[in-house]
Structure 1
């Protein structure tokens, strides 16, 4: 291939990459984990920008890295397709639509009430049904891949174990059970338990290690579960220490030999971190000029992003501690404006919440434009912190990538993610039912609407008559029309 053809190919890939990331950012309802199959469908199968193995590695790293998961996956894909420019621009475009809509709706709510938010919720019901369809297809594809690779039993064990451990609250809400589930542990705790089992057993079925890993995992889940049947912090600390020691013991055979080191890779990491820092500074510059507390806000924002494990709900708790409990922002502003708007829009919760907090702070201090500039600073915090930590973890992961245990981890990462996605499905079904509760509609109406749009997507995909973006738009339009009809009935 000539240099001219190579430049043309790179330019074409960049255009496709950025257009794809922006599109996914616009339709990214359901949180970061829910976007894993959506991004995979676009960049692996539709556009063929990277292969499945490369994408799986990005998903593994993103799941063990704090921050906004869809932003991290977008950065990883962009890094492989177009280097550092692709990495930065992909991350920005993935987070931009939801952030822009969050700030726009906050401006509209401050001036004209919540009518616009209502229409967003109505349209999101249809998009939610489409996302549920994508998640079910991902789980189905996981079963097929496990069967083809000869890991059907162990793969399905991990998938349903993860679903069982994480779906307690969602299932209880769905069936109207007003009790605290025994387990219902967070995403990060599930990943800790799953990685412990994989590292300790090495992915090999040996009765002794399997029994020990099951006993320790059950005890750990009883400690960290919502019911806290074992509430002693000392016991939890001992169990965590035991898990670390046994994981290292199980890893010892896989770490034999020399771990590769490359100055070239280290220099690349440093350049990437400098790029993330430079992007943060440039986007935060307008806020520094108009808002006196920008550094305090940015510092809290960066720290909150770096310690944010476990998805959107977990970040709400982190942000509450950073901004509400410290008196930086009011409780009503945070929960009744920012959180309610962010939950009804596509994109990463982390990006939307930080931008929303920034807008409220800036608007209270210097008006709408100051609010927009501080919101841009919050957005920069979320992207830079997520991208910077992702680059660092990628560097570490690549040093160990060829070890046998990480090959096993790649094999079982998809079933683990699939289990998390099944939990997301139940949460999204309940989210749609909640819309009916808010407007005093019969609950069965939203169940039928969700199921009907789901079946419509199944029909369209089997016939192959529409593209994914058209399916999203049709789903949103159908729910928007039906919900407005329900709302007009006295």
Structure 2
């Protein structure tokens, strides 16, 4: 398996040997084990492995897939496994990668839930002491990612616009984290009446940014861009500062519909202009056959798991486990941004799991593990429901929940590949490069504050002051960042888990002295 600089021009898929399949399995299993933080925190981790180390995607393609990722629901690790492997190695490699990146998260979730139910539940808080240190390695990777994006923007001549978009994205998404971090470090709470910045979700930001990119790619008059920009500003004010506009006005809904209408009108006008000058052919959609086969195989695996449950767990009612499977699948399908509120709506508000079990057991375990929250929560819900019948039921229900989330991720990955192949080379992709990348940088810095807060909260629960925890974690972060900048010969896995061991030992020792 030769490493290449790019794969853009390589349309022919490579035939995998058994050695190649083992390498694919090993790489994605490792990614499934080191992806602490979830969401935006996974972006630099996957970039370092898939682009820098393996060369399975080139840098530009990776960032364009990242932009697509925010617009298509599902677990990011699974979508990226499909995107990186289906185009390069074919359907079997893609499915293997999806299984490999899901397996560690699902297996460890199952084992920790078993320990939580049948032994001392306090061990979760001990694991958290190590996770706080692991997060500092992830933050260092995130800083490296942002640094690389800004360096590339400077090289390509759009540094100023990238910095403006980057800072704007951070200010729009960071309010809750900034308030909480300030309170943890100073003990002073900022009153809600004092506006700090905004609290826009990543979904809202990416949705408006993508619509604006579409409008820019079709617009021929500047006043159209000014109009779209004004509508987006109204939308972000409404969703980022609840209460500035009366709720009955539905400002955000009207803004989105207006942007969609503008984008559709411009697209239709552009298509008509092109079709009159030169008839447009739809052409063949690349990788459609591989996508359909991948979808079919993943569906077959799900069907086999569902068929096994009534045989091995005869007392489990069909309707109950079928509902769990569908809820797991649907919650994965509609997952944009923060998965926890979505899963709570499916499994707690309208489902069979109590709020106490969901947050004190399922979410508590998910919070200390690497990987996508989708996989961890669907596995946990399956475990809890299956355990009501037997331990075998817990095993099968866990597999069912994990497989439902994986199936949704595979579908989303196929959509990303087909969309990418149809749209690459267009003006829209050039604009994605300029505007979407710095938006991710801004959102990533917001995630950095969130991960730092998580570490401080873990220390606080063990009686350690916020000031000490902040200084220690920042020192650990600086060590990881410097080791990456200076390119010290330290393995990533050693840095990751070494940081976890150090934070566990320091926090445990300081906690005992308090």
TM-score, length of structure 1 as denominator length:
0.91
Q: Secondary structure at the match of 1:282?
A: helix
The correspondence for 1:280, drawn from 302, 305, 310, is 302
Match of 2:483 in 1: 460
Given the alignment of the two structures, is residue 480 of structure 1 paired with residue 504 of structure 2, yes or no?
yes
Distance 1:422 1:232 in 2: 34
Match of 2:37 in 1: 30
The change in CA–CA distance for 1:7 and 1:241 in structure 2 (over 3 A counts) is: closer
Greater shift in the superposed pair: 229-238 or 198-207: 198-207
Task: Spell out, residue by residue over 1:314-351, the C-alpha distance to the aligned partner (whole angstroms, 9 max, x if none).
Answer: 32111111111124111110011111111121110011
Distance 2:285 2:150 in 1: 41
Match of 1:235 in 2: 251
Match of 2:354 in 1: 330
Distance 2:351 2:212 in 1: 42
Greater shift in the superposed pair: 379-388 or 58-67: 58-67
The change in CA–CA distance for 1:466 and 1:264 in structure 2 (over 3 A counts) is: closer
The change in CA–CA distance for 1:305 and 1:9 in structure 2 (over 3 A counts) is: closer
Structure 1 spans left out of the alignment, 5+ residues: none
Distance 2:419 2:300 in 1: 22
Using the TM superposition, give the Cα deviation of residue 391 of structure 1 relative to its aligned residue in structure 2, in angstroms. 0.9
Q: Secondary structure at the match of 1:273?
A: helix
Using the TM superposition, give the Cα deviation of residue 141 of structure 1 relative to its aligned residue in structure 2, in angstroms. 0.7
Q: For the Cα contact (< 8 Å) 1:305–1:350, is it kept in 2?
A: yes
Q: For the Cα contact (< 8 Å) 1:284–1:376, is it kept in 2?
A: no
Distance 2:436 2:286 in 1: 29
Residues 165-204 of structure 1: pairs in structure 2 closer than 5 A: 165-176=172-183, 177=190, 179=192, 183-202=198-217
Q: For the Cα contact (< 8 Å) 2:175–2:198, is it kept in 1?
A: yes
Q: For the Cα contact (< 8 Å) 1:260–1:399, is it kept in 2?
A: no
Using the TM superposition, give the Cα deviation of residue 263 of structure 1 relative to its aligned residue in structure 2, in angstroms. 6.4
Distance 1:233 1:297 in 2: 37
Task: Spell out, residue by residue over 1:363-403, the C-alpha distance to the aligned partner (whole angstroms, 9 max, x if none).
Answer: 02x12221121011000011101111331343234223232
Q: Secondary structure at the match of 1:113?
A: coil
Residues 407-418 of structure 1: pairs in structure 2 closer than 5 A: 407-418=430-441
Q: Secondary structure at the match of 1:34?
A: helix
Q: Secondary structure at the match of 2:90?
A: helix
Distance 2:21 2:87 in 1: 11
Greater shift in the superposed pair: 11-20 or 102-111: 11-20
Q: For the Cα contact (< 8 Å) 1:199–1:248, is it kept in 2?
A: no
- What CA RMSD, in Å, does the superposition of the two structures yield over aligned residues? 2.5
Given the alignment of the two structures, is residue 344 of structure 1 paired with residue 368 of structure 2, yes or no?
yes
Distance 2:88 2:496 in 1: 26
The change in CA–CA distance for 1:78 and 1:178 in structure 2 (over 3 A counts) is: farther
Q: For the Cα contact (< 8 Å) 2:95–2:294, is it kept in 1?
A: no
The correspondence for 2:429, drawn from 406, 411, 427, is 406
Given the alignment of the two structures, is residue 395 of structure 1 paired with residue 414 of structure 2, yes or no?
no
Q: For the Cα contact (< 8 Å) 2:132–2:503, is it kept in 1?
A: yes
The change in CA–CA distance for 1:285 and 1:325 in structure 2 (over 3 A counts) is: same
Task: Spell out, residue by residue over 1:38-70, the C-alpha distance to the aligned partner (whole angstroms, 9 max, x if none).
Answer: 111111112223322332333232221111112
Q: For the Cα contact (< 8 Å) 2:15–2:89, is it kept in 1?
A: no
The change in CA–CA distance for 1:41 and 1:7 in structure 2 (over 3 A counts) is: closer
Match of 2:260 in 1: 244
Q: Secondary structure at the match of 2:40?
A: coil
Task: Spell out, residue by residue over 1:76-134, the C-alpha distance to the aligned partner (whole angstroms, 9 max, x if none).
Answer: 11223321112111112212222222221111111222232122201111110001101
The change in CA–CA distance for 1:242 and 1:391 in structure 2 (over 3 A counts) is: same
Distance 1:104 1:161 in 2: 42
Residues 219-230 of structure 1: pairs in structure 2 closer than 5 A: 219-225=234-240, 227-230=242-245
Using the TM superposition, give the Cα deviation of residue 26 of structure 1 relative to its aligned residue in structure 2, in angstroms. 0.7
Distance 1:401 1:137 in 2: 27
The correspondence for 1:140, drawn from 136, 142, 147, is 147
Task: Spell out, residue by residue over 1:431-451, the C-alpha distance to the aligned partner (whole angstroms, 9 max, x if none).
Answer: 011112212211122112211
Using the TM superposition, give the Cα deviation of residue 280 of structure 1 relative to its aligned residue in structure 2, in angstroms. 2.0
The correspondence for 1:111, drawn from 104, 115, 118, is 118
Greater shift in the superposed pair: 42-51 or 245-254: 245-254
The correspondence for 1:270, drawn from 292, 302, 316, is 292
Q: For the Cα contact (< 8 Å) 1:183–1:227, is it kept in 2?
A: no
Match of 1:149 in 2: 156
Distance 2:215 2:135 in 1: 38
Q: For the Cα contact (< 8 Å) 2:383–2:395, is it kept in 1?
A: yes
The change in CA–CA distance for 1:90 and 1:162 in structure 2 (over 3 A counts) is: same
Using the TM superposition, give the Cα deviation of residue 202 of structure 1 relative to its aligned residue in structure 2, in angstroms. 3.2
The correspondence for 1:297, drawn from 300, 309, 324, is 324
Structure 2 spans left out of the alignment, 5+ residues: 2-12, 184-189
Using the TM superposition, give the Cα deviation of residue 16 of structure 1 relative to its aligned residue in structure 2, in angstroms. 2.8
Distance 2:382 2:369 in 1: 17
Using the TM superposition, give the Cα deviation of residue 281 of structure 1 relative to its aligned residue in structure 2, in angstroms. 2.2
